[in-house]
Structure 1
Amino acid sequence: MESLRFMSEKGSEKGSRVDLPMSEETTQEVASMEEVSLSGSSIDSAEEEPNWPRTWRAYACWLGCFFLMFNSWGLVNAYGTFSSFYVGHSLRGNDQLELNLIGSTQSFLVLLFSAPVGRLLDAGHFRYVIGTGCFLVPLGMFMLSVAAPKDDDALGTFATIWGTQGFVTGLGMACYFVSSSQVAATWFPHRKGLAIGFVACGASVAGVVYPTMTRYLISALGFVNAVRLVATLVTLTSLFSLIFSTPNPKHTHPRPQSYRSLSTWIDKEAFHNKAFVWFMAAVSFLFFGFYPVFFNLEEWAAVGGFGTRDGVKAHMPVEANPSETEENKPLQTFWLLTIMNGASTIGRLTMAAFSDKTGPLNMHILAQIISSLLVLILWTLVSSTASAIAFCALFGMFSGAVIGLPPASVANILACTYRSPGDKHIAHAKLGQWTGMMYSAAAIPSLVGPVVAGHLVTQYRNYVTVMGWSGTCLVISAVCMGVSRAYLPCYDGKSVGFKVRRWAKREEGEEKGVEGSDGESVLPTGAIKEGPQGQQEAGNDTPV
């Protein structure tokens, strides 16, 4: 009897695998993945793993990945402070469009190379990837101190500052970004949301440390020496990441047969997954509108009278803030960016922890909706320094989850796509590639979004245009996430569309008293409708 039960279980597992729609090419790829996973120890059966790792290497890796994010998106989040300095000093002759181009180049390169970096990490080349970033990011920051004029009041050259801070540093950040979440996730199969959330906090913590550190060092030592000290911190934390950011040895790394094949870098099956395609569109619109808020926050505060730059107000021909009085003196603008990034840490960590219970994509949609409303409503109604601080704190909290949850949401989509026990290792193997493809698709929006916002400021001399642009893009992103969610099953395996149709029939049946509009009897509450062959739809234990 035991042997018969075992054979029936194997048969049902095999049947579940046949149900997955795959092309012939994908079938061969899955077979090769199975050979790799069966040839040694694997992390495929996450049920055998403890909830929390029992080795110090996991937590050292976790901290190392935190520093990878610290020195990638963390420096991007801190760019608003650099931009505010350039406006009043070395690049004061350049308009806001060009200044935003430096920061948007960083984010563009980080996202553009996410797909190839993710595939190289899947193949096990993490040392080369992280090592390249460990060389380029400190190099770019040190070269910035050489490219910038020694006298803070002297004019600098835009091309050299863009080349060092925007291009060289951006290339190094591209090696860090996907590595941070993908490497850490291998150690925490049961706590991926929280693990990635902690790593994502590196960006917001850096958004507190780097602006504050830069501002005070500029006042004490000048811009050049301040940048050199920032570059030193970048170097030390990068070396820690290089040493300790290693994936779980049990994690498999299927290597492609040829790196020249297009299928090695782009998984065509991802574009047949409607949930992933809509989520990829959502992330693209997210980057259209997200970083214009961070890049323009300090200048908006200085122009509106909610903050000062270097102890003096910005001079720009826009309407002055009528609420400002001698008793209501504004604070330094970099504190607003610091508050926003500090609140982002809370949002990234708490919402990522809850996402393991509610489902990462569900939490992502909620945070996205609230962030868009904060930009469209609260930001436009700011009329005092206190309300500006309130906006920075609230938007920072929810936007932290918005920008930190995409890798966990992709893992959620993969877990629902390859949900049978024998296919879970495929979801693990594709995580880096799908995450990289998602971010690479958002590269152009991340470059264009801040530039468009800068052009709107230059053209209309008013930051309301930035608020409208960012808020609208975030709303569209939330809508796309909702569509993506509709294509995924719920806890009981039923799709959202099926539940809506069943609810509609029940409501219509209650109005008619007996039957629905199509003549079928209305299902009682909690009943499960059977398919055309009399079989229930397969359940799913993956939280969505």
Structure 2
Amino acid sequence: MTSLVAEVEDNSVSSVSADVEETLDDKKEDSDPYEPPTAECAFQGHEDSASQRPISINNIEAIPNGGVQAWLQVVGSFFVMFNTWGVINTFGVFQTYYETELLPSSTPSAISWVGSLQAFLLLFLGAFAGPIYDAGYFRELMAAGSILIVFGTMMLSICKEYWQVLLAQGFCIGIGTGCTFVPGVAILSTYFTTKMATAMGIAAAGSSLGGVIYPILFHKLIPQVGFPWAARVMGFTLLATVVVTNLVMKVRVLPASRRKIIDRLAFRDPPFVLFVLGAFLAFMGLYAPFYYIQLYSIELNITGGDLTFYLLSIINAASVFGRVIPNFIADRTGPFNMMIPCAIFTGILALCLIPIRSIAPLIMFCLLYGFFSGAFVSLPPTILVHLSPSRGIVGTRMGMCFAIVSIGLLIGTPIGGAIVRASGFWSIWLYSGLLCVCGGALITAARVFKAGWRILKMV
């Protein structure tokens, strides 16, 4: 992701003593092995920077932690998530349609590469979008990403071959989401401190809401207007919502120096390394139910009619609460203490899919899996802030973490598709569950290295 960025608005003339005091505070906060005392200053984008008084990005007291402008960023970030992870969370309905209608000659593994490529590009490109964002190109990133997402969806409407779908949905939309996700999330940490997990949870709920609306929209439109116009309607919906994002989001300050892409000291930090490895494994298995739950229901004849196509929407609807409620609690208990049980429960729930053969337990699974997986997805950015030795290095470490996790997302569901074809659905649920549980165990180890064995300690 990125460094902490924001805009400074200070129209009052402060006293000399206040300036001296703030300068001393900034130097004290900035004096760590990651940041030279004079390097990390921030200015208002490219607009009249000479007239703005520099403020260190490590100056916590300067962050508003609320207010109209800050909550407007949450609105903008909500729609960023709506059109990035919300689109990716929708791929399960495309997986089913492609396998049964548009691309029946393609294997489940081949089709799932389209969705996993989207998720991979979203996170992997964040490592490169971060420094571009730090350089002051927030507007350019958001505009370019928004155009690519809408354009890719519109081009999808004329696709008839696998390679066309891969280019439009995998590459074009994936690159677009990679451009917008990083600035859309990173900007929140420059407006919030103690309320950051809450703000992040509300914004992250956008991905779940997108995952509810887009599958229903797609499923209802297909029989009425066909695939081409169903895709176009989604494109127009995307267009309307990305306009909101580009209108309301506003950078508060920018660092005076560009951040590093790699922090070598991070590889000697056991909590960070263990957390990244745990997230890699967990995300590798996390999306198997999102992609294959509908096919599972169809092939085993568990549900009939439209209910099958609502399963993904049920998961994403429950995920709305999973992204908001645990994040709100995490501001009081600590994000580590909230994420660990959510990760382990997510894995256990995936294992519980193996014996399910009837409607009621399947619906219950969708509700619980949506809730706990939603918390698992929304909490990592907040944890990475806590794992960073200073705020000036947060963006670098987020970029490193998400670049590694993106590889797990890229290979996870295609491997799952190959497993389904070779051994049946029970094997993919075992694969998904064990990966999530092992990931949760490594995250637990990261928490122990960070704060010891005290269970009640806020971490």
Same fold (TM over 0.5): yes
Q: Could you tell me whether the CA contact under 8 Å between 1:46 and 1:190 is conserved in 2?
A: no
Identity %, equivalent residues = 30
Matched positions, count: 429
Q: What is the alpha-carbon distance in structure 1 between the residues aligned to residue 315 and residue 236 of structure 2?
A: 25
**Paired residue for 1:384, among 358, 363, 372?**
358
Q: How does 1:474-513 map to 2 (within 5 A)?
A: 474-489=436-451, 496=452
CA contact (8 A) 1:143 1:164 kept: yes
Aligned-partner Cα distance in 2 for 1:179–1:300: 37
Unmatched 5+ stretches in structure 2:
1-16, 44-51
* Worse overlay, 269-278 or 39-48: 39-48
Aligned-pair CA distance for 1:31: 2.8
The reply to whether residue 290 of structure 1 matches residue 302 of structure 2 is no
Kept in 2: contact 1:102–1:165 (CA 8 A)? yes
CA contact (8 A) 1:42 1:252 kept: no
- CA drift of 1:389 comes to 0.2
**In 2, Cα distance between the equivalents of 1:122 and 1:268?**
20
- 2 CA distance for matches of 1:44 and 1:264? 17
Greater helix percent: which structure?
Answer: 2
- Residues 1:305 and 1:135: Cα distance change in structure 2 (over 3 Å): same
Of 326, 341, 345 in structure 2, the residue corresponding to residue 366 of structure 1 is 341
Structure 1 stretches of at least 4 aligned residues deviating more than 6 Å after TM superposition: none
Q: Deviations over 1:369-398 (max 9, x none)?
A: 11111112x212312111100000001001
The residue type paired with residue 401 of structure 1 is: A
Cα distance in structure 2, aligned partners of 1:34 and 1:167: 35
Unaligned runs of 5+ in 1: 148-155, 257-262, 312-330, 419-426, 490-495, 501-541
What's the CA shift for 1:176? Answer: 1.9
Equivalent-residue separation in structure 1 for 2:317 and 2:249 (angstroms): 25
Whether 1:112 and 2:124 are equivalent positions in the alignment is: yes
The equivalent of 1:183 in structure 2 is 187
CA distance in 1, matches of 2:334, 2:82: 25
2:5 aligned residue:
none
| Mapped contact 2:261–2:399 kept (Cα < 8 A) | no
Root-mean-square deviation over aligned CA pairs: 2.5
Q: What corresponds to 1:317 in structure 2? A: none
Deviation at 1:35, TM superposition (A): 5.2
Describe how 1:47-86 pairs up with structure 2 within 5 A.
Answer: 47=61, 49=63, 51-53=65-67, 56-86=68-98
Q: Which amino acid aligns with 2:293?
A: L
**Residue 145 (1) aligns with residue 151 (2):** no
Compared CA separation, residues 300 and 266, structure 1 to 2 (3 A): same
**Deviations, residues 169-188 of structure 1 (Å, cap 9, x unaligned):** 11101112222221122222
2:164 counterpart of 1:201: no
2:404 match:
441
Among residues 60, 74, 80, which one is paired with 1:46 in the alignment? 60
Is 1:454 equivalent to 2:417 in the alignment?
A: yes
Match of 1:511 in 2: none
CA deviations 1:183-229 (Å, max 9, x no partner) are 12222222110111111111100010000011111121111101000
C-alpha spacing 1:122/1:483, structure 2 compared with 1 (3 Å): farther
Give the C-alpha shift of residue 48 in structure 1. 5.7
* TM-score, length-scaled by structure 1: 0.74
Task: Give 1:447 deviation, angstroms.
Answer: 1.1
Aligned to 1:463: 425
Moved more, 440-449 or 205-214: 440-449
Q: Deviation at 1:268?
A: 1.9
Please tell me whether the aligned partners of residues 282 and 477 of structure 1 are also in contact (alpha carbons under 8 angstroms). yes
* 3-state SS of 1:306 partner: coil
CA deviations over 1:492-535 (Å, ceiling 9, x no partner): xxxx16x69xxxxxxxxxxxxxxxxxxxxxxxxxxxxxxxxxxx
Take 1:49 and 1:268, find their aligned partners in 2: how far apart are those partners? Answer: 28
Aligned counterparts of 1:36 and 1:164: Cα–Cα separation in 2 = 38
In structure 1, the partner of 2:139 is 127
2:329 aligned residue = 354
Distance in 2 between the 1:361 and 1:125 partners?
Answer: 32
Structure 1 residue 39: Cα displacement: 5.3
Distance in 1 (CA, whole Å) between partners of 2:73 and 2:65 is 17
Structure showing greater relative contact order (alpha-carbon pairs closer than 8 Å, 6 or more residues apart): 2
Rounded Cα–Cα distance in structure 2 between residues aligned with 1:64 and 1:50: 17
Q: Is the 8 A contact 2:260 2:396 kept in 1?
A: no
Normalised by the length of structure 2, the TM-score is: 0.88
SS at match of 1:382: coil
Is the 1:118–1:435 Cα contact (8 Å) retained in structure 2?
no
Deviation of 1:78 (Å): 0.4
Residues 185 and 195 in structure 1, CA contact (< 8 A), matched pair in contact too: no
Distance 2:107 2:62 in 1: 57
Q: CA, structure 1 residues 409+344, in 2 after alignment: closer, same or farther (shift >3 Å)? A: same
Question: Contact 1:178–1:432 (CA<8 Å) still a contact in 2?
Answer: no
- Say whether the 8 Å CA contact 1:136–1:168 is kept in structure 2: yes
What is the aligned partner in structure 2 of residue 103 from structure 1? Answer: 115
**1:479: how far off?**
1.1
